Structure 1
Amino acid sequence: MSETSWRARVDAFWAEFDDSDAEGCLNRMRALVDERPAGDPEALAEWGGVHDSLGLEEEAVGPYRAALAAGLPPEHAHQVTIQLASTLRNLGRTSEALELLDGLDAPELGDAPAFFRALVLHSAGRSAEALQTALTALAEHLPRYQRSARAYAAELA
């Protein structure tokens, strides 16, 4: 089966995703994952994603890490890095989450890394830094007062 067909079926899975049937979701994704060779990074990322989306964060960490280690294309690796960082935050592993986000250079994701970094900092009890991160990212989108907004955000450190 072609990569395009597999990806289209994965996209259809996510478009129809319903977490009220966790077992059904896991079975359907398992069938898709099993179509790929063992260790396929895309399949591993999807396997982690279905666990994550079902609130099974602990079970998502291994597949996410394996997908990243197996060599995802850069833009997909950036997405999985954010997903893993968010999962680690939910598990209370904020230092690991921050380490991932601090090393992430993903301009194609816009302010998503800053958004998740702010959440992690807040969860870590570092609310002033969280607010600074969020406001600094937001300042770039203001039609006026960008310089002032950046300065005020910097004062929070």
Structure 2
Amino acid sequence: MKELEVAIQLRESGNLEEARSLLLKLLEQQPLNPSVWYQCAWLHDVLELEREAVPYYKKSLELGLQGEERQGALLGLGSTFRTLGMYEEAKLIFEKAIKEYPERREYQIFYAMVLYNMNEFSEAMSILLKQLAETSNDEGIQDYRKAILFYSDKLDSKVE
């Protein structure tokens, strides 16, 4: 798998076209390797070729990508769908990711972005406020953590 490591290093060092060439060659040699498909998707995203990245992400997941790579592919695919304005598809991917990896808070944040794009502002803000209250080390936010959590899903409520 040395060549795949080389392709990743090329991507990380900014040699994107060289990495792309190597990854496409690897894909021909190892068409059933989900990691190669995932790295191709990632590289296309870095190259701002989002539409081209989608089938690579999908194929990597179909081939049974596992572990950290699977988590990255779900985030990448959902984020790419969102960037392309494919909000329903993005929403479904992030809902699946949240169910599969509830401890990974980054899915919640990207899900909130999708909800914002879908004009579901209250739910998006609620998610963000909860994540902020639960993860911030800021003393002021922690002082008001209970209030932030209490109001996170009551933003449209007002006292009559």
Category of TM-score, reference length = shorter chain: 0.7 to 0.9
Do residues 138 (structure 1) and 138 (structure 2) align? no
Equivalenced residue count is: 149
Q: In structure 2, what is the equivalent of residue 149 of structure 1? A: 148
Percent identity between the two aligned chains: 26
Q: Deviations over 1:24-73 (max 9, x none)?
A: 453243245445x1121000001111111111111111110110010111
Change (3 A) 1:106 1:14: farther
Q: Counterpart amino acid of 2:122?
A: A
Q: In structure 2, what is the equivalent of residue 120 of structure 1? A: 114
Q: Deviations over 1:1-41 (max 9, x none)?
A: xx3x345323312321256xxx4453243245445x11210
* Structure 2 spans left out of the alignment, 5+ residues: 137-141
Q: Counterpart amino acid of 2:101?
A: A
SS at match of 1:68: helix
Q: RMSD value over aligned CA atoms?
A: 2.2
SS at match of 2:31: coil
* Structure 1 spans left out of the alignment, 5+ residues: none
Distance 2:143 2:36 in 1: 44
Structure with higher Rg: it is: 2
Q: Are the aligned partners of 2:7 and 2:22 in contact in 1 as well (CA < 8 Å)? A: no
Q: Are the aligned partners of 1:45 and 1:67 in contact in 2 as well (CA < 8 Å)? A: yes
Q: In structure 2, what is the equivalent of residue 72 of structure 1? A: 65
